Chains A and B, each alone.
Chain A
């Protein structure tokens, strides 16, 4: 290798290092989410994406999601993009993906004005027409076979016209429409034996006739058990009462055996299960007793305890107790975010360049 080529390679190496220093590590993941978002807007919501200038304003990798996401360990990532156009109001679109599958698409504007997207073609004039169009596109786009029964339900029930509040149940599908103050919300969710499983659902929100929220959690939850109710209420209350009085070491108050019971749908390991939720209250609360009751969850299919927890308490007495905890002021946890990364990159670039210069000088002198 001659000297000229050697220098050329050295220069290319330095340029490569400098360029890679500025590339975010999450770029490829962000790009995937970004592509998914734009694809959904174009193919399902029929946005004319070519008319928009698109900017990613925020990206949250799965590590940023709240600890208790409700998806039992599945990765959750989000992205917010700005869509600006010279011919209409700018809007923002926020997407959440669970395990790589769309869970939420929300459309909004920074000043709270009406969302007014630019579509590829003329849109239906009614909310019901828009719902059907979106669901049909979504069914094709995502191969979401569970959408067809929803479309069938809309076709078969004139009361689901998007203009009034309505509720229709057919088989394991329940549709509710809520019209309130300029917004219309449609929700499809799973039902079995009269128990609502709100977790497994698909919902759409329209504001002033324009879709502003699309949320699909249907595919995340399985229904591969029977969902049968094998434990009657009285038996569940007895199980809960015993648990509340014996199992939880935090329960230091006397409970009243006057349970408030509700049978609701729950999720266990991403699978639907019916559960009895039973609450008992304390009948002798005093200042500083750290409980006002206990809540017990009893699986309605097999009678096992799902959880037993002390319910909240908030003392709002205006007579503070005589014995008060004391603490001296100290410094806060300062996990400062004032670290200027641009300076770091700059410093690294200078260092690399300096090394390159030194190497070059050294090489020249050694000859």
Chain B
């Protein structure tokens, strides 16, 4: 009789572990999400929008399985030093295999040597280029190619241009020996991704970079023809579908577009995709600047372990 009970207890223990393993996901590779914002040169309305968006993105990743870890670098924590350190830590961690990155703020370009234009976006601690997040430094640190999904909501950090008759988003500068040029190139470590990774243009590379070619919309800008909504809501919806619903980048863009304006059920109908003129200031003068959101690489990318 005693032996029977011991057997039953042992079976129960085995059963309990079986239940645990069936109902929970095992931790294999860790996936890291980082969210960055900066108040530098941003008015209070834009700061509030940044806070809300970053909070939402961070919380939605934190609702995922144990495989995911999300880090929110708030305004005074978003510095180039921290960005490089974070990138390096993930890159050097054998446990981490996937890095998602969202950053918002101001971006621009500069010439370190000669006439080669490089790109950067501001951190919080200084307007000096040396304190900004620079493309060439990102490239040199991010050599582990774990940056599978990057979303940079700033001006110019998705710039594309024509070189030798070919449209590109990055190259290695040999003329002035300034190294890798272009933030998409820096984060993705390759110049070979699809220039239009949305929809049928997806290259199935498993890497996707979203940025702005030219002038970015403000997160706090009113969403076209939808009263009371802003582009911050578009970002929220994108992450809702991408993270919470486990859709691909392309579908998340479509469904976010549909959520805000069902007359635009496809992202290809969205002003972000079609391009726009943004009224902005340059050296004290107000004028209109063109801008468009670019989806580089693999719009079919789906986040791992989102269930």
Contact = CB atoms under 8 A, between A and B. Distances in A.
Contacts of A176: 263
Contacts of B68: 337
A94 B126 contact: no
Contacts of A334: 71
A335 B258 contact: no
B307 A57 contact: yes
Interface residues of A, number: 114
B148 interface: no
B258 A327 contact: no
B143 interface: no
Interface in A263-291: 264, 266-267, 275, 277, 281-282, 285-288, 290-291
Contacts of B87: none
A325 B39 contact: yes
A11 B71 CA distance: 44
A316 B108 contact: yes
A226 interface: no
Given A7-B5, A332-B77, A292 B247 contact: no
B236 A78 contact: no
Contacts of A67: 52, 56, 236
A118 interface: no
B188 interface: no
A58 B307 contact: yes
Nearest to A349: B16
Contacts of B228: 266, 297, 307
Contacts of A1: none
In which size bucket is the chain B interface?
35 or more
A201 B262 contact: yes
Interface in B59-118: 59-66, 68-77, 79, 81-82, 86, 106, 108, 110
Interface string A317-358: 111110011111111111111111110011001101100110
Nearest to A335: B62
Given A11-B12, A66-B240, A198-B225, A57 B306 contact: yes
A349 B12 CA distance: 9
Most buried by B among A213, A264, A275: A213
A58 B306 contact: yes
A319 B283 contact: yes
B250 A112 contact: yes
A11 B280 CA distance: 71
Contact of B215 (A282, A316, A326, A328): A316
Interface string B114-132: 0000000000111110000
Interface stretch (A41-49, A178-186, A230-238): A178-186
Contacts of A203: 258, 262-263, 265
B150 interface: no
B280 A349 contact: no
A149 B34 CA distance: 49
B81 A332 contact: no
A55 to B, nearest CB: 9
Given A11-B8, A332-B72, 10 more contacts: A66-B233, A94-B241, A106-B251, A112-B299, A178-B269, A213-B265, A306-B227, A316-B155, A331-B77, A345-B23
13 contacts: A11-B12, A67-B56, A106-B251, A198-B225, A250-B44, A281-B286, A316-B106, A321-B127, A326-B125, A327-B124, A338-B69, A342-B66, A353-B13
